[in-house]
Structure 1
């Protein structure tokens, strides 16, 4: 992937989208397995803190310049929106709702990005093809995730709370993405990503401690399945995919970068069917086709 100082190639952009689409789509299931035996905010906070430390240290050892205090302040704000409230809200929400429903609710992110980006002046007014694509995408995600969930939910009976948490997380993710488009904590998107993960992860970890998640928790009680999911979330889900997303925010329009919220549910539901025994129906396949159409419209509408 090229540095931030050079024009991004088509191959680099396609590669980054492939990572964000596929890897982040799989993290819904990864989160589900990880929080089976690890408290949610302790899991998410330590995941991003560890990933951020590894990525930031690696880039600094390679000679990347140290960021300024102003850059750290910007990274803190972005980390709060994207990770502490964005990812943290989804992680908490998945205690109460299925991974498919969580993916459906997160699909409002491109709509938030398009509207808020236009109102804030970060991006232009959505064209008609983009607007149509966003609406088709939401319909497609609805069809993908509409099948009643049969997967394990850690704390059933609180669906309204779970929905509220995930929708709030989606809004703050969009706000953080737009802020990140205009404010770059460091010249390298990978240094920026490491900074944001450290800041957001540390605050999530603190929130988990304040909630009392450490009481009664022991590392010995973590299952092998949760450890494997945790390792996947740290490496591919955080270091690789989050860095790719931060890079995409610099390379393309925010609403286009946000189309991962349409594609991720397809990956999430297909993996839920293949790995966790969740239902897969004809509406899912129709929804997946609509999502492909939606992404094409958003891409072509930006030209």
Structure 2
């Protein structure tokens, strides 16, 4: 009796492995693109003021998003009755937070910025409890507490406790993470029926115009002083980080469970720390490694649904 697999079974197995390989590659692309975003911002604001840098990034990304709406035949405008939500997304998700991130990175390393922003899913959890009345389990509260203690120790170990500019930078980045956390929860509450492409396209275009015009008025940038390296960073942020990362993330949403995909927020800070330390010639201290590990592990715990742990506890 032959024990060899039938050709159709072999083809099915090959397709299965190919699908897994493609998913792994896409996951790695998202982690790399988002992990390098923070260094891109750092390079951009070397010679471009933060308001102008954020605006130019979005103006570069907008035509590509607009093309996506045409190719995918998605509506450009939010549904009727969502004008208030549209204004919040434009200002509270794109305009203000990305200015805060750019401004914060003028005083904080790109790796630390990524670590600070990795707290964003924790704020999602908190806002979900307050606005959506979702239950927070005790182990999640424990993870949040230990995680933020580790974050405080990271800030202290980096010497920012004596630097007011550094503390302001940290506050700006955390404020951006809080606003993004609130935006995700309000989107779940009021914008679940809005296409992801529609959600991004017009708000990112308007935010680009608002930030750039405000930058021209307040910052008065001298374009002759913008380095080629900063221009390259802006193009990278606009095309690869904003549009490319978005497309790949959108594809992965159809391939992976949200809980698995959410661990991108745990992986990209590690990439950002390594790349940022290399570019900025900063040694990665043992304290940073230890506290970063604790921080990311605790934030990872907060992502696990309570019913999952309960079910596993009962099984044991």
Asked if TM exceeds 0.5, the reply is: yes
Task: Return the alpha-carbon distance in structure 1 between the equivalents of residues 70 and 151 of structure 2.
Answer: 40
- Is the counterpart of residue 90 in structure 1 residue 101 in structure 2? yes
Structure 1 residues 72 and 238, CA, compared in 2 at 3 Å: closer, same or farther?
farther
Match of residue 55 from structure 1: 65
Which residue of 155, 168, 186 maps to 1:179?
A: 186
Query: Out of 236, 240, 250, which is 1:232 matched to?
Result: 236
- The Cα of 1:47 is off from its aligned counterpart by 0.7
What TM-score, normalized by structure 2, do the two folds share?
A: 0.73
Distance 1:110 1:186 in 2: 21
Verify the 8 A CA contact 1:20 1:245 in the aligned structure 2. Answer: yes
Give the structure 2 partner of residue 170 of structure 1.
177
Structure with higher Rg: it is 2
Matches within 5 A, 1:144-223: 147-148=157-158, 158-184=165-191, 187-214=194-221, 217-218=222-223, 220-223=224-227
Matches of 1:168 and 1:92, distance apart in 2: 12
SS in structure 2 of the partner of residue 196 of structure 1: helix
From the two aligned structures, give the one with the greater helix fraction.
2
* Aligned residue in 2 for 1:4: none
Q: CA-to-partner distance for each residue in 1:120-166, whole Å, 9 max, x for gaps?
A: 01x6212233333334444555566655379xxxxx86234323322
**Structure 1 unaligned spans of 5+:** 1-8, 151-155
2:282 counterpart of 1:278: yes
Give distance in 1, aligned partners of 2:227 and 2:303: 42
For the Cα contact (< 8 Å) 1:186–1:192, is it kept in 2? no
Task: Give the match for residue 22 of structure 1.
Answer: 32
Structure 1 distance, partners of 2:29, 2:291, is: 21
Q: Does the CA-based 8 Å contact 1:144-1:265 persist in structure 2?
A: no
* Counterpart for residue 116 of structure 1: 127
Equivalent-residue separation in structure 2 for 1:14 and 1:79 (angstroms): 32
For the aligned residues, what is the CA RMSD? Answer: 3.7
Once the two structures are overlaid, the 10-residue window that deviates more, 280-289 or 83-92, is: 280-289
Q: Verify: 1:102 aligned to 2:117, yes or no.
A: no
TM-score normalised per structure 1: 0.76
CA drift of 1:290 comes to 2.9
